[in-house]
A and B are shown apart, each in its own frame.
Chain A
Amino acid sequence: MSIRVEHLTKRFGAFHAVDDVSFEVEPGELVGLLGPSGGGKSTVLRIIAGLERADEGSVYLDGERVDQIEARERGVGFVFQHYALFRHMSVEKNIAFGLDVQRVSPSESAARVKELLGLMGLTGLEKRYPAQLSGGQRQRVALARALAPKPRLLLLDEPFSAVDARVREELRRWLRRMHDEVHVTSIFVTHDQEEAFALSDRVLLIHKGRLEQAGAPADIFDRPASEFVARFVGDVNILDAVAEKSGVRAGALTIPSEGHAPGEKLSAVVRCYDLKFWQADDGIATVTRVLPLGDRVKVEAKLDDGSAIFAQFPRRSSLLRGVERGVRIQIEVTLARLYPRGAIPGAE
């Protein structure tokens, strides 16, 4: 199913939960709605599902305008953040619910339930009740339940936020595998940038109700369209900078850039691996902390003007030789993104 959303707006009093959002999703795509909490992405999802009504704008499913159509008739599968399993029904009854409601024959229903149990790795658990399942199992049941009536569209509202980190990894793999097998158009909402980038064919960044950027994960990463996007995606340093005749300076740092009018005030957003540190007695900063993080090392330093800066290196990087707490280092910025200062208030 293809989805088109046009000029979606929803207000709660004076507050714009969704502000003129438009986008399209191709059939079979797995799209991630990414953004900080409270940014409106869940609301967009719920409007597409029919669980809420937009104040303005339209939703088209397969070219058909569905604004006036009720949730139960849209053929949309929905997976809730806290599973919302029917606690009084067993796993198989939960999964079969959408089929029972549509008066599917018992034999067909049983076959479909069995198929989904296998697909989601739940065989053997069919008689259990939600309270007897782990978080990961519950979410897989929720997925199976949503998929049972063969929906044209699958919507997932922060589906992995209620489970712990390791289970989350596992569930992500299930979702990707399920999507590859079933090929149902899917949109999922998350505030976890890593998750969005790992799973989606395309990512839509939503902040304060507005669509900031849409594109493939790599595009967003390499070419963030705004300061918010740049800040939100990846571990970053944010420095106050001023454009000068010969380039851009942030304190003692030089930043490669072009085309800025001298005197222009800028924010420089520098990824933690777009920096080079190396030990140098005549350097411009002092190391304050060195944090080993498994296969990476994070180095925090303080520039002479007091501002803090940090970078990440692979563990075996030669740049780390001699770099420890208290030593002076030299810094080079290999890549920075520059935005007009104060143009967009930063991400939370």
Chain B
Amino acid sequence: MTRVRGKVPERGALALRSGVILYALAFVALPLVILVQHGLSDGLAALFDAVRAPVARSALFLTIWTAALTAIVNAVMGTCAAWVLVRYRFPGRGALSSLIDLPFAIPTLVTGIMLVVLFGPQNVLGRSLAGAGFPIAFAPAGIVLALLFVTLPIVVRAVEPVMLELDPAEEEASRTLGASEWTTFRKVVLPALFPAILAGGLQTFARALGEFGSIVVVAGNIPMKTLTAPVHVFGEIESGHSTAAAGISIVLLALVLTLDFTARRLKRKLGGAHA
């Protein structure tokens, strides 16, 4: 009697599987396929034109550099925060750890409102900063602050589990061999953390590229100045230019998918720390 390779799934499991596949395909794949198809419906040339239009180009550029800056800053600060939370003991540590999850819980629009309240022109702080040449609201700085808030937990939570797995004996060995704490961090700890930091950074970048709710109230959405790509797409939709909107969306989507894919590959290699 020949042996059958692999398990033969029982009917219930098969039904479940089909249901899940169907849901995923219909709900996620289908809309995206339509989006891409629509964006290309006027042809590739029209898409390039839409993307190269001055407003669109500036919006994309703004989105990319603010997202990149956010990714870099939060990669560094997220790692520092994770280090402090994992290695140090101080009163309020637990509360601080919980606080870091706040951006995952709070609506992005509310984040935008908070920033407007804090840095808007009706506020003393906002007015004086603007007067001193560092405007926050209705300026790129506001965009970056919003993005920093919204993406804060990503790197921290990506790095934390890897930090917890570190072998303290390696660091002790480094100490006995004469290395300072900073050298130990640089040569022994950081190489171990690097893939997680990179994955977290890429996810931060991807998330920041698509951010809408927090930016749309605080940025002022001035074309060529503080108009980001997602907000621009929104404007195009409202004006009925759905093809142009879809075209720019395709560019963003391509970027986001590449980043996300790379990050997930890295995380897989690390052993599946959960999002």
Interface residues of A (CB under 8 A from B): 49-51, 70-73, 76-78, 80-82, 84-88, 97-98, 101-102, 142, 145-146, 149
Contact = CB atoms under 8 A, between A and B. Distances in A.
Contacts, number: 65
Contacts of B175: 50-51, 70-72
B176 A78 contact: yes
Given A49-B176, A78-B176, A149-B178, A101 B183 contact: yes
B42 interface: no
Contacts of B178: 72-73, 98, 101-102, 149
Interface SS of chain B: helix, strand, loop or mixed? helix
Contacts of A51: 172, 175-176
A84 B192 contact: no
B172 A78 contact: yes
A77 B172 CA distance: 11
B183 to A, nearest CB: 6
A149 B169 CA distance: 19
A86 B188 contact: yes
A110 to B, nearest CB: 17
A87 B176 contact: no
B93 interface: no
B187 A87 contact: no
Contacts of A49: 176
A76 B177 CA distance: 8
A277 to B, nearest CB: 48
Contacts of A145: 173, 177
B191 interface: yes
Interface in B172-198: 172-180, 183, 187-188, 191-192
Instruction: List the 4 shortest-distance A-B pairs measured between CB atoms, nearest first.
Output: A84-B169, A98-B177, A88-B191, A78-B176
Interface of B: 167, 169-170, 172-180, 183, 187-188, 191-192
Given A73-B178, A101-B179, 11 more contacts: A51-B175, A51-B176, A71-B172, A72-B176, A78-B172, A80-B172, A80-B173, A97-B179, A101-B174, A101-B183, A102-B178
B194 to A, nearest CB: 9
Contacts of A85: 170, 173
A78 B173 contact: yes
Contacts of B170: 84-87
A77 B177 CA distance: 7
B187 A84 contact: no
Contacts of A97: 174, 177, 179, 187
B172 A72 contact: no
A152 to B, nearest CB: 12
A122 B174 CA distance: 21
Contacts of B179: 72, 97, 101
Contacts of B192: 87-88
Contacts of A78: 172-173, 176
A51 B179 CA distance: 13
Contacts of A102: 178
A310 to B, nearest CB: 40
Nearest to B194: A88
A81 B180 CA distance: 22
B176 A77 contact: yes
Nearest to A84: B169
19 contacts: A49-B176, A50-B175, A51-B172, A51-B176, A70-B175, A71-B172, A71-B176, A73-B178, A76-B176, A80-B172, A84-B170, A86-B188, A97-B179, A98-B178, A101-B177, A101-B178, A102-B178, A146-B176, A149-B177
B241 to A, nearest CB: 51
Contacts of A87: 170, 192
B189 to A, nearest CB: 10
